[in-house]
Every structure is written in structure tokens, then in C-alpha cells.
């Protein structure tokens, strides 16, 4: 059973939503955030990357950053740019990227179910990233970015959401600069709210698609706040902000790799070593991998197709049969000496939304020497690993379109009626 709860979202005025709602904090660095704020001073990045509103040179984990995030969030509220809904609601979040459409339910999910693994994980978290989100939540008393959840759908929830959308007008409907269309509906009818809550009780479990650090931080914050006297277990901090999608509708893209050097090898030596574990073919067009266990490689101005040879991996192994594992275990580690891709400075990762031209450019510019185009990890592979309590390798999945922060913010402190819309 999946326990979800409606909540009183703090959200932008409709006429300001396109300016305030912003990409997640972790898809840009501080310098990019500063540039973004020059173009759009209302961007919510001033809360999620508050260091961009402080003098240059400040560390992004300086206590002043979290204090500034709180100050900037309160400024939105004081200026009347963000207001809180008067009653608990669900929200329907529709995104369109070209012909692709995904529709999710914005709700709060149970910390208790997260602890009991009814909300399943597939990724290891890093303490430094957890601490960053913990400090941010504690300072702002808000969960400003949603966790991206998926569930195996029988269609009942989506049918209800589609019916609701057909009979109601959205509160937000805008197209962002990147061409992604964002539409939000408010479900405030108590009958529909109850119906959605009850339908989700038929969902056995949910899966974290993206947002492991946000959910882990929410749990640790809840554990800390629960130590206060007089707590009932029903406080808002016992739930975390999420957008929940049927797994079959999600768009998983490739997560590609670029490496700075060939570990002292020349091109011919490198290609010779590859041939032990991969079939290597030159390709003149369409280098994007079309099947699992094949890879595109850009090297020396040419594209190659790499195909993993039989015996390179065990199909029955849910982790080592992943393409990201095959590349890591048979090429990146033994040939290029990249032992831990999370910490090695010689490797970088490029989301598939940027296309293969981005890989070509990074190599052609001389910043990197070789690029690898991946076949996307599937939702079936992700859920299979999570069901078995296994962690996917780092940078296994890239989801598009990205959920925008500030479409609906979950306040976990004392709610104030003057914030209400």
C-alpha cells in the first residue's frame, strides 16, 4: 500500500509562475546560476542555489548560504509572489517535450514508507550531498524540490487525472526557454482528493526515479525534528514532496561519458586493447546505440561502434549486465584506470538531452580525448535492481523533462494563514 497525502502548497502567483519556477539546483553550477539570475532575477534558483546571490568566492556550504536561502524564500512570501493554498490539495503536473507527454501527481509521500522500503531506492547517497539538503530544509523549513517517484500503474489513477484535467482549467500553463511546456492543475475538491488517496492504497510500492539525496535528507530531518517534545507523528515533516508518475510513461535518456585521456596509450594501442572485450567497427552515420550492450565511441574525429563480446558479462546479473557496468568493468577501469567514476576527475558525464554533437564538441575542442555514447538504462532494469535491494552504478539514468522547482513547495514548519492564496 502507498500512503500519500495532500498538502497546502506554497506556489507562485499564476502570472509569475513562468519566471519563478526553475530547473533543479543540481543541473547547474554556481556560475551558471549567477548568469541565469542576470537574465531572470525572479528565478527560484536564488533559493535553491542561494550562494549565487552572495559575493563571489563564498563556499556553497557556508552557513551564510542557507541563511540567505531562508531570507530569499521569505522575500518571495513578503512580496506576495508566493502564496500558500488555503486547504490541502493534490496537483496534476503535465509536461510536454516535443511529442512526448508525461503526467504526474504532486503529493507528499510517507517517510515511514520510505524507511520500510515501500518506497524503493536504486542509488547510494553521498553524505556531503545529504548534509547540503538537510541544512537547506532546516533553514528554510521547506522542501523546495520534489522527489521523482514512479509506480507500476493499472491505469486507474491516470484515468482519474485525465478526466479531472478535461473538466478543469490549469492554474499554470507556460513554455520554458528550453521548449518544455509545463502545466499545473489544482485538485481541491475534497471528494476527488479522497478518491486519489484511496486509489494509491492499491499501489503496492513506489520507486525513486530521481531525488535520492532529497528523500534521504527529508528522512534525516524528520528524525531530528521528531525529538522535539509533543510531536504526534502527523506533522508535515513526516512526509516529503514528490511528483509521482506511472513508470511506463517515463522518458529515460542515455547518460554518456567523456574521458580526458587514454591513460598513456596511443590510439592504436587503445583500439587493440578494446578488441579483447569488444567488437570494434567504424561507423560513418547513426552512431547512437540502438540496442543494449552496444556503445558509440568518438575518438580521433571518428565514430566507432563497440559491441560487448559474449562472456563479457552475465545476463542473469541485474547490475553487471547493465551497459554502464559493462563499460566500467571492461573498459573504463581496466584500460583507462578509472576506478571510481564518482570521484575521478578524468571522467565527466553528459545527459542525453544534449545530443551526440555535445560529445563530439568536447572531444574536438581538446577538453576530452574520447567520448562514449550509451544505450539508456530502462525502467525495468531500474525497478528490478530496486526490488532486489541493489544499487545501480553512478550516473546510470538521465530523466527528461526535468521537474521544475517551485511549481509547488512543501512547507514543514508552522503554516501561516497570511501566506494563503
358 sits in which H/E element: helix 355-364
156-207: per-residue pLDDT in tens? 898 999 999 999 999 999 999 999 999 999 999 999 999 999 999 999 999 9
Beta bridge partners of 258: 348, 371
pLDDT over threshold 80, residue 421: no
CB contact at 8 A, 385 and 319? yes
The CATH architecture annotation of domain 253-398 reads: 2-Layer Sandwich (3.30)
**What mean pLDDT do residues 15-35 have?**
95
Contact 408, 11 (CB under 8 A): yes
pLDDT at position 320: 93
Q: Stretch 259-283: mean pLDDT, rounded?
A: 97
Helix axes 127-140, 63-78, angle to 10 degrees: 40
DSSP 299: E
Distance between terminal CA atoms of the chain?
A: 33
Q: Looking at residue 111, what is its pLDDT?
A: 97
Alpha-carbon dihedral 301, 303, 308, 313, rounded to 10 degrees: 60
Confidence of residue 414 (pLDDT cuts 50, 70, 90): low
Q: Please compute, for residue 85, the number of CA atoms within 13 A of its CA located in the half-sphere on the CB side.
A: 21
Nearest-10 Cα torsion for 174, 176, 180, 185: -30
Q: What pLDDT is recorded for position 315?
A: 83
Rounded-to-integer distance, Cα 404 and Cα 90, Å:
17
pLDDT at 415 over 80: no
Is the CB of residue 352 less than 8 Å from the CB of residue 401? no
* Residues paired with 173 in a beta bridge: 183
Query: At 151, is the secondary structure helix, strand, or coil?
Result: strand
In total, the chain counts a number of residues equal to 421
Inform me whether the pLDDT recorded for 36 exceeds 70: yes
d(CA 377, CA 386): 13
Q: In the chain, helix, strand, coil percent, each to 5?
A: 35, 25, 40
46 burial (CB, 10 Å; 0-12 / 13-18 / 19+) is buried
Phi then psi for residue 322, to 5 deg, are -70, 145
Alpha-carbon separation of residue 25 from 46, 60, 95, 214, 405 (angstroms): 10, 12, 19, 11, 8
Q: pLDDT by residue (tens digit) across 325-366?
A: 999 999 999 999 999 998 899 999 999 988 999 999 999 999
CA distance 20 to 11: 9
The dihedral built from the CA positions of residue 263, 268, 271 and 272, taken in this order, carries a sign that is: negative
Any residues with CB less than 8 A from the CB of 152 and at least 6 apart, and which?
203, 204, 246, 247, 383
Beta bridge partners of 280: 306
Residue 418 has pLDDT above 50, yes or no: no
Q: In the predicted model, is pLDDT for residue 420 greater than 80?
A: no
Looking at per-residue pLDDT, the higher value among 414 and 245 belongs to 245
Question: Which grid cell sits at 26?
Answer: 543540481
Q: Exposed, middle or buried by CB within 10 Å (0-12, 13-18, 19+), for 83?
A: middle
Residue intervals in the chain for CATH 3.30.1760.10: 253-398
Q: How high is the pLDDT of residue 388?
A: 94
Strand order in the sheet with 294-299: 278-283, 302-308, 294-299, 370-373, 255-259, 347-351
pLDDT tens per residue, range 112-160:
999 999 999 998 888 999 999 999 999 999 999 999 999 998 888 989 9
| Mean pLDDT computed over every residue of the chain | 94
Set of cell numbers at residue 123: 542509488
**Chain centre distance of CA 258:** 21
Amino acid at each position: 500500500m502507498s500512503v500519500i497525502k495532500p498538502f497546502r502548497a506554497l506556489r507562485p502567483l499564476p502570472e509569475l509562475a513562468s519566471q519563478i519556477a526553475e530547473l533543479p539546483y543540481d543541473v547547474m553550477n554556481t556560475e551558471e546560476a549567477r548568469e541565469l539570475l542576470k537574465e531572470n532575477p525572479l528565478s527560484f534558483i536564488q533559493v535553491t542555489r542561494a550562494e549565487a546571490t552572495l559575493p563571489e568566492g563564498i563556499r556553497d556550504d557556508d552557513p551564510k548560504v542557507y541563511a540567505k536561502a531562508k531570507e530569499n524564500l521569505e522575500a518571495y512570501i513578503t512580496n506576495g509572489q508566493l502564496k500558500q493554498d488555503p486547504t490541502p490539495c493534490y496537483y496534476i503536473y503535465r509536461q510536454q517535450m516535443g511529442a512526448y507527454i508525461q503526467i504526474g501527481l504532486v503529493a507528499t509521500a510517507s517517510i515511514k514508507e520510505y524507511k520500510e522500503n515501500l518506497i524503493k531506492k536504486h542509488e547510494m547517497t553521498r553524505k556531503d550531498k545529504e548534509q547540503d539538503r538537510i541544512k537547506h530544509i532546516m533553514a528554510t523549513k521547506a522542501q523546495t524540490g520534489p522527489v521523482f517517484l514512479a509506480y507500476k500503474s493499472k491505469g486507474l489513477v491516470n484515468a482519474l487525472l485525465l478526466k479531472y484535467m478535461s473538466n478543469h482549467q490549469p492554474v499554470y500553463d507556460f513554455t520554458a526557454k528550453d521548449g518544455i511546456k509545463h502545466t499545473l492543475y489544482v485538485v481541491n475538491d475534497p471528494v476527488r482528493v479522497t478518491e486519489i488517496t484511496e486509489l494509491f492504497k492499491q499501489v503496492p510500492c513506489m520507486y525513486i526515479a530521481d531525488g535520492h539525496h532529497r528523500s534521504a535528507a527529508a528522512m534525516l530531518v524528520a528524525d531530528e525534528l521528531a525529538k522535539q517534545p509533543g510531536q504526534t507523528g502527523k506533522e508535515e515533516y513526516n512526509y516529503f514532496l514528490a511528483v509521482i508518475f506511472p513508470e511506463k510513461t517515463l522518458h529515460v535518456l542515455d547518460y554518456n561519458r567523456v574521458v580526458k585521456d587514454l591513460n598513456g596509450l596511443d590510439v592504436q594501442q587503445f583500439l587493440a586493447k578494446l578488441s579483447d572485450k569488444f567488437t570494434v567497427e567504424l561507423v560513418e552515420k547513426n552512431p547512437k546505440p540502438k540496442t543494449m550492450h552496444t556503445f558509440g565511441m568518438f575518438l580521433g574525429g571518428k565514430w566507432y561502434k563497440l559491441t560487448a563480446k559474449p562472456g563479457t558479462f552475465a545476463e542473469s546479473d541485474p547490475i553487471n549486465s547493465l551497459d554502464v557496468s559493462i563499460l566500467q568493468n571492461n573498459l573504463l577501469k581496466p584500460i583507462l584506470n578509472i576506478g571510481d567514476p564518482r570521484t575521478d576527475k578524468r571522467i565527466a558525464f553528459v545527459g542525453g538531452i544534449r545530443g551526440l554533437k555535445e560529445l563530439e564538441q568536447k572531444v574536438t575542442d581538446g577538453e576530452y580525448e574520447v567520448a562514449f555514447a550509451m544505450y539508456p538504462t530502462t525502467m525495468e532494469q531500474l525497478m528490478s535492481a530496486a526490488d532486489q535491494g541493489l544499487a545501480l552504478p553512478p550516473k546510470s539514468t538521465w530523466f527528461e523533462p526535468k521537474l521544475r522547482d517551485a511549481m509547488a513547495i512543501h512547507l514543514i514548519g508552522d503554516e501561516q494563514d497570511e501566506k494563503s492564496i
